[in-house]
Structure 1
Amino acid sequence: MNQNLKKMISYYKPYRAVFAADMLFATLSAAVALTIPLVVRYVTSTLIYQQPQMMLRKLFLIGIGLFVLLALDCYSRFFIGNYGHVMGAKMEYDMRAELFGHLQKLSFSFYDDAKVGQLMSRVTADLFDITELLHHGPENIILSVLKIVGAFVILLNINGWLALAAFAVLPVMFVFAFVLNKRMRRAFQQNRIKIAEINEQIEDNLSGIRVVKSFANEAIENEKFRHGNDGFLAAKKNSYHYMGSFQAGVGVFTTLIQVNVILAGGVLIAKGMVTVNDLVTFLLYIGVFTDPIRTLVDFTEQFQNGYTGFERFQEIMNIEPEIQDANDAVALTDVKGTIDFENVSFQYKDNQEKVLNRINLHVPAGAYMALVGSSGAGKTTLCSLIPRFYDVTGGCIRVDGKDVRKVTLKSLRDHIGMVQQDVYLFAGTIFENIRYGKPDATREEVIAAAKNANAHEFIMAFPDGYDTDIGQRGIKLSGGQKQRLSIARVFLKNPPVLIFDEATSALDNESERVVQESLEKLAKNRTTFVIAHRLTTIQNAQKILVLTEDGIAESGSHEELLARGGVYEKLYHMHY
């Protein structure tokens, strides 16, 4: 907990000046609250016994002084409410940028297990509660502590016996608050988990809404959501049970302070040990004294919300990316495209079986290499190891003789172009999506890439052409159109190493033929890996690798493998 608190406090560093001013104005506001009852005591115990003319003159001066104090208090509250909140928003901005940047660094293995809805909850709701705590927490504490300590000192000076009656309740109240606080913290942690689960369920449902409707399974989804919502409600009820107990207990204790003072004051007045004026002033200060206690009660809920959110924030920030640059990593330059697999083995985390086992493969620069085999044989995995989406668990992969783990990730991936099996397009225009392959590309370059990918014609059929908005995940486009846009990105990037993971799988025969010609034109003098189920797309490959669960079973040209009469020949006749 101490480590987390230190880290949380470190976010104040860039805003020390604003934070200091915020604390100053919180102190001034507390001072004003402490001063006014003293003025009341002076008026009721001293001023009313003076001559009317003198009394009016002093009242005029007191009135001016009170208006100055009120103006000071008004600006103090404005500063806290305005600039203090802006400081909190800036801290939220910093934390969100830090968290988003960290999420960009995390490896594929993290996202294999992560739920998008849960991550969204951490980036939005959790961070809002953290910054509410970071902004309001210190000012609430300083206001409360100053008022409590100030009131205590003044009350002691008015009458020690009344002060003792007021403060006798506090030790019991603090013990009660400490015990309930621990239980509230656990309950609020459970709330966070349940909120994240609901976000995950909503994101999952809305992303797959077309599947839901196609199966007419709205009732099933509603039931799944109801189950999650019930869990969230149960967690909320539990936290509110403890919070209600906490607030009720503290409320009773604060009222008990006033009851003690009234009873003790009555006894002391009867014995001539305190005046009525002092008792009235004392009761006014009890209000000043109990208000900050109630503020601390509210702060407790805020602290539980914010701190549990910060713990979840730190959970993500403490995850080290599995794939990152080595300390001695160098930039990969002048890439020719020679790739070597040397005794490469790989298995996914928490998986006993190896996907790849002791693969040895030499791919000369500019070679056109095809990978075929049944699903699960490791074709996609093998290609994913080249740009280090995952790290080999045995052996090494070299690009132009350099171990990929010894070069910077950016320089490695800058020289590799991929069209993956699962096409992903971002919300935005067609132009923006193609230019993602080369962010500084001109419009002419984008159009040329689209023509090479056989996409220009269908793009121009839209009323807005390249400026057509394609919707979330390209929902307004057909499967073949989306695939061609993703291929256009790689044409635009124009890297020395290409990986096509079933790049033409969603295209019709005519589009496939045209794109295949473009792919082969692009692949000329570039090292190319093509993963394909349609064997027609790879018949011109210089070398075809047939992967099975036991590794590379066969390799050779299309004609050589057919003549061999092995696994490839069976696959070929299965398709035709």
Structure 2
Amino acid sequence: MSIRNLLHSVKGPFIICLIACAFSAFFSLFNGLLISFVIDSVLNNQAVTNFVGKWIINNLYPLSYIQDNLHIIALIVLAVNLIIALFLAIRYYTQFYCGETIAFNIKNALYASIQKLDLKTNQNFNTGDLIQRCTSDIEIIKRLFQNQIQELIYSCCVASFAIAILFSINLSLALIAIIFLPFIIVYAYFFFNKIRKVFKYSDEKEAQLTSYCQEVISGIRVVKAFDKEAYELKRFDQVNDDFKDSVFDVDKVIGSYWASSDFLCYTQIFIVLIAGIFLLIIMP
């Protein structure tokens, strides 16, 4: 089954989910600018600088009226947060619906394909590999359509909207803020190339472990008849240790990536903070 065939049955909900991701990202950043407008302009009577505050005073209520009637801005903040909650609810409902539906369709397709196989083909199949294709591999595909694609779209939307907002507020700070972005993208590219090889190796070891367990359980009477429990236990320990080591290798790569990428991100925040303080001192 191709990706196009998998998405065909959930095309409508999947598109709705992606739209909800984009709108939830936009309104989350919109809410931050709204709070900034409330603190800076409504409560501290400073000049309105962000586009959210300007839109409110130009299209809804003048600033003086909002300052005299604070319940209005409270209702606006509440309404924006309700909109965010609505889009998040739509996003999570549709993404779980898409993931479960796609997994259900894959399981049915796999069952139908296996039922049509001839005896010779079935005998040549690696049992552990076949079991893994029907269990853990389906879960991986389900997570892709249920969570990871949506997170990618959400992250791209947040980054795009945030960069646009940063440039509208302060050009210098915006340039400083995005200076680490190319390094993070390049580092992520090399990480995914490395994790692909390590994960494939771990996947193969899991298939070997599953195949071995199925083989021993199916022939348990033969094992007991020839008094091979100790021998099979030793073999199991070896296969299980290989799988454990492969999982540790995956965890090490993931751990090193998140630690180093977090270091880059927090370094970026620190530099932006220092630059902001410096600009505040020289240009109060």
TM-score by length of 2: 0.87
For the 8 Å contact 2:22–2:157, the answer to whether it is kept is yes
**Judging changes above 3 Å, is the alpha-carbon distance between structure 1 residues 76 and 222 closer, same or farther for their aligned structure 2 residues?**
farther
- In structure 1, the partner of 2:127 is 116
CA distance in 2, matches of 1:161, 1:155: 9
Is 2:86 the counterpart of 1:91?
no
Is 2:271 the counterpart of 1:260?
yes
Deviations along 1:418-469, one digit per CA (max 9) or x if unpaired, are xxxxxxxxxxxxxxxxxxxxxxxxxxxxxxxxxxxxxxxxxxxxxxxxxxxx
Identity across matched positions, percent: 23
Counterpart of 1:55 (choices 44, 61, 67) is 67
What residue ranges of structure 1 are gaps of 5+ in the alignment? 276-576
Deviations along 1:10-59, one digit per CA (max 9) or x if unpaired, are 411121111121112212211221111111221232112449984251x3
Write the mapping of 1:12-411 to structure 2, written as runs, cut at 5 A: 12-50=7-45, 54-57=66-69, 59-272=70-283
Shift of residue 223, structure 1, vs aligned partner:
1.2
CA distance in 1, matches of 2:253, 2:245: 13
Shift of residue 79, structure 1, vs aligned partner:
2.7
Shift of residue 214, structure 1, vs aligned partner:
3.0
Greater helix proportion: 2
Greater strand proportion: 1
CA distance in 1, matches of 2:85, 2:225: 60
What residue ranges of structure 2 are gaps of 5+ in the alignment? 46-62
Greater mean deviation of Cα atoms: 17-26 or 205-214 = 205-214
Deviations along 1:236-272, one digit per CA (max 9) or x if unpaired, are 1222222122111211111011011011111111110
Shift of residue 9, structure 1, vs aligned partner:
4.1
CA distance in 2, matches of 1:65, 1:222: 66
**Judging changes above 3 Å, is the alpha-carbon distance between structure 1 residues 64 and 255 closer, same or farther for their aligned structure 2 residues?**
same
CA distance in 2, matches of 1:81, 1:43: 30
CA distance in 1, matches of 2:84, 2:36: 20
TM-score by length of 1: 0.44
Q: Which amino acid aligns with 1:16?
A: K
Shift of residue 150, structure 1, vs aligned partner:
0.3
Q: Which amino acid aligns with 2:41?
A: T
CA distance in 2, matches of 1:265, 1:36: 22
- In structure 1, the partner of 2:57 is none
CA distance in 2, matches of 1:154, 1:71: 22
Query: Secondary structure of 2:227's match?
Result: coil
CA distance in 2, matches of 1:238, 1:70: 42
CA distance in 2, matches of 1:56, 1:195: 66
For the 8 Å contact 2:95–2:145, the answer to whether it is kept is no
CA distance in 1, matches of 2:238, 2:86: 49
